[in-house]
Amino acid sequence: MKHLLAILSALVLVAGCQSQNKTEESKAPETPKVRLIIDDAYTLMDDKKLMKMFYDFNKRMLEEFDVDFRVISTTTKEDIDLYANRKFNEMQRQSRSKSGKALLLVVNPAQDKVRLEVSQALEPVYTDAFVSYIERKGFVPYFRDFKVADGVYAAMELIRDRAYEAAQGKEFMPPMQSKSIGGGAKSEAHIGQSDSEAKRGAMVGAESGDSPEDVMNKYLQALKAHNRNPDLEIYSKATREFFRKWTVTTINQDHEVDSLSRCPGGEVLYGPDGLHAVLAHRPYDKQRKCAPYFFKKEEGKWRLDIATMARSIRFNADMQWHFDLNKRLEGEGIYYAFAFDGFGFDKNGYPFTPKQNGNLPQGMRWGFQCGAWYKPSEKELYKQDPKRYARCWIRNVYYGMPAEVRLGLDVQDYVVGVGEGPEARAANYVTFMEYMKQVPSGSVASVTVLRYDKKNKRQYKIVRRGIAP
């Protein structure tokens, strides 16, 4: 058996209400008194960020539904049913639930099996049919592609969604026949056993006359038909490559259909280059469950750019979308940033509508202000010729303006250069300001800055790229 990939990947759960300007980050809970994760197979604990996500998920389930959810990875030779039952009884003696509601997920890569154990108090909610369904349709498609982490992630989403449905009085009606075992169910994991039927589906063509709305309608029909062909013509080239590697399940597709059905209409915003477009539901801060969709024109045809969306867009526990600020302007992302002009981003990447700022100078193109700095080694030269040796540090960035939205500049960035390749050059205060004024509208502006990493307490150099307004 090959060594498994790291297991746990979960949604970033954000507790509480989100304000216009700031969304409070979920704080990692203190070290729990009981073990929420037992990682005897050495597949869970390597990534501290992922562990924080799991603890956040556990905390959310406990606070909202009084459900104590835990995970075990093991390589024991003991029968998984007996093992899960024994560990579940041990867990119940240290239950964090006040009403005896508990779930235990056991993954055994040595036996190639997975089991979800359910307490008696939760059996009416997480029925045998439901448990068997998510194991077979939630876990296994990912496990087959050696994506154990994604499988567990998908299961956690389904467990959460089922809790919300149960709170609304909805029963679970499985769309398939399921065999079950006791209070919970086990399944063959099929880890690394590829499914030849997993990426099948009829071709969906793209026409030169199709608008982004037409392409979106074709995509919706493909989702409803559970078409998992990665090479549909309505996908951009990068998206086809993405889907060849990405696991897509019927559950994923059904969830996306449901999400799109709740977000009809929208408006298409076209980029200045005529080659990029965004299907948007604005104002973004009032439509947080309606994610933007990206389109790229290739070979004269509009195609979905889901590859860029997957890189930069994230969802919280309530399925509200936000940007990964570290990924938003990577690669093709700079060409879609225009669609978010006028909206700021809080520290978690959630868009908000800035208040009107009376101090914004009229006619300001980018929306930033500079302070002056100089290299310590050039102190004496600066005193003699400050105009030549003074450089710009970003003293202020106005929310919703291109400096933030398109270029990704941040307060305390120290500008050291402009341009790239043969045109790259060092920049003092004057040359930087001239560059920002003269870069042609619609072309790519490149600014090299020194940025301080508070977490690791170090300064690093980064190139910011964006389409000039």
Region 387-398 average pLDDT: 94
**Percentage of the chain with pLDDT > 90?**
52
* pLDDT for 197: 59
* pLDDT for 198: 67
Q: Is 368-467 assigned to CATH 2.40.100.10?
A: no
Kindly report the number of other CB atoms within 10 A of residue 208's CB atom. Answer: 9
Right CATH for 37-188 from 3.40.50.300, 3.10.310.50, 3.20.20.80, 3.30.930.10: 3.10.310.50
226-284 per-position pLDDT tens digit:
999 999 999 999 999 999 988 888 888 988 998 999 999 999 999 999 999 999 999 99
End-to-end alpha-carbon separation of the chain, Å?
A: 54
Name residue 164's amino acid. Answer: Y
Distance CA 19, CA 255 (A): 27
* pLDDT for 189: 45
What confidence tier does 407 reach under pLDDT thresholds 50, 70, 90?
very high
Task: Kindly report the average pLDDT of the chain as a whole number.
Answer: 83
162-212 per-position pLDDT tens digit:
888 888 887 765 543 333 333 444 545 444 444 555 688 999 999 999 999
212-225 per-position pLDDT tens digit:
999 999 999 999 99
292-316 per-position pLDDT tens digit:
999 999 999 999 999 999 999 998 8
Closest CA to 231 of 276, 207, 201: 201
Paired with 114 in beta bridges are 107, 187
Name residue 391's amino acid. Answer: R
* pLDDT for 50: 64
* pLDDT for 114: 85
Q: Is the pLDDT of residue 425 over 60?
A: yes
Name residue 218's amino acid. Answer: K
Distance CA 444, CA 315 (A): 29
Region 79-84 average pLDDT: 93
What confidence tier does 357 reach under pLDDT thresholds 50, 70, 90?
low
Q: Where are the domains of the chain?
A: 37-188, 212-350, 368-467
The structure tokens 């509200």 sit at: 320
Distance CA 127, CA 171 (A): 10
> Do the domains 368-467 and 37-188 match in fold?
no
What confidence tier does 336 reach under pLDDT thresholds 50, 70, 90?
very high
Min mean pLDDT across 143-152, 347-356, 383-392 is at 143-152
Q: 74 near 106, Cβ under 8 Å?
A: yes
